[in-house]
Amino acid sequence: MHSLAEEIRSFSRARLKRQCTRVTSLSGRRIIETWKGSVVTTVEEPAPPETAPGYVPDTAWDLQVGAIRPDLLLGCQDAAHHFDTLRKHKVSHILNVAFGVDEAFPDLFVYKTLSILDRPDAPLLPHLDECCRFIRQARREKGVVLVHSNAGVSRAPAVAIGYLMTCERRSFDSALACVLAARPAARPNPGFVRQLRSVDADQNQDQNQDQDQQ
């Protein structure tokens, strides 16, 4: 039986089927992200003509920012693009793990941008070291870091959970509880949850080995 680490090392984008993800910004700009084998193609799609859609579109900005720690915040792309919200929460560093979302204020904040796919078969663990280094950098510089993805539901919470687990040695359940308290809408996709739980299992195994050696 292969471990998750071995599966990640043997992961090949060529094994992925053709997938298409559409992200629509509040301005109506549509970004289409298509995966085929090892190639990612990103194009913009014009907004549809203004016809009655049969439903009321939700154009309200999601400016909710949850505080996991006073210097570790969680939100979505709307909050990351709203200067007054960033200023209100004294944000100095922004960790962007969305796809197709630009850095809104590159001259005003310290950014780290990692394009992570919100797919159950997308590797998350290989990105955690870089995310953790950036969060630790922000804390060393006495800053406040906002972690955000497109909706702030799957990728950003998964990264925040991974940080709490790897840097603060929390269990998955404890880290998840902290993230849900800060952002109740958080729902990491099942693949991310499996990967994070594997970290939990590895940490428990290490602790048991340490105890056996004492």
Domain spans of the chain, in order of start = 13-47, 63-207
Q: Would you call 97 helix, strand, or coil by DSSP?
A: coil
Amino acid at 24: T
Q: What is the pLDDT of residue 55?
A: 45
CA distance 166 to 63: 28
Q: Which residues are paired to 146 by β-bridges?
A: 73, 94
pLDDT tens digits, 177-191: 999 999 999 999 999
Phi/psi of residue 112, nearest 5 degrees: -135, 120
Q: Which residues are paired to 69 by β-bridges?
A: 72
Spell out the long-range contacts of 13-22 with Cβ–Cβ below 8 A and sequence spacing 24 or more: 13/37, 13/38, 14/38, 16/121, 19/119, 21/99, 21/117, 21/118
> ∠ CA(160), CA(188), CA(92), 5° rounding?
30
52-74: average pLDDT: 79
Overall residue count recorded for the chain in this entry: 214
Q: Could you tell me what percent of the chain has a pLDDT over 70?
A: 68
pLDDT tens digits, 117-173: 999 999 999 999 999 999 999 999 999 999 999 999 999 999 999 999 999 999 999
Mean pLDDT of the chain: 82
C-alpha distances in angstroms, 53 versus 44, 48, 50?
21, 10, 8
Amino acid at 179: V
Q: Which of 129, 121, 94 is nearest to 108 (CA)?
A: 94
Q: Render the burial of 27-45: b for 16+ CB within 10 Å, e for the rest.
A: eeebbebebeeeeeeeeee
CA distance 32 to 45: 7
Q: Could you tell me what percent of the chain has a pLDDT over 90?
A: 64
pLDDT tens digits, 84-125: 999 999 999 999 999 889 999 999 999 999 999 999 999 999
The CATH number of 63-207 is 3.90.190.10
Q: What is the pLDDT of residue 52?
A: 43
Q: Which of 67, 111, 61, 58 is nearest to 88 (CA)?
A: 67
Alpha-carbon dihedral sign for residues 204, 205, 211, 214: negative
CA distance 145 to 138: 6
Q: Render the burial of 68-103: b for 16+ CB within 10 Å, e for the rest.
A: bbebbbbbbbbbbbbeebbeebebbbbbbbbbbbee
pLDDT band at 201 (very low <50, low <70, confident <90, very high): confident
CA distance 148 to 155: 8
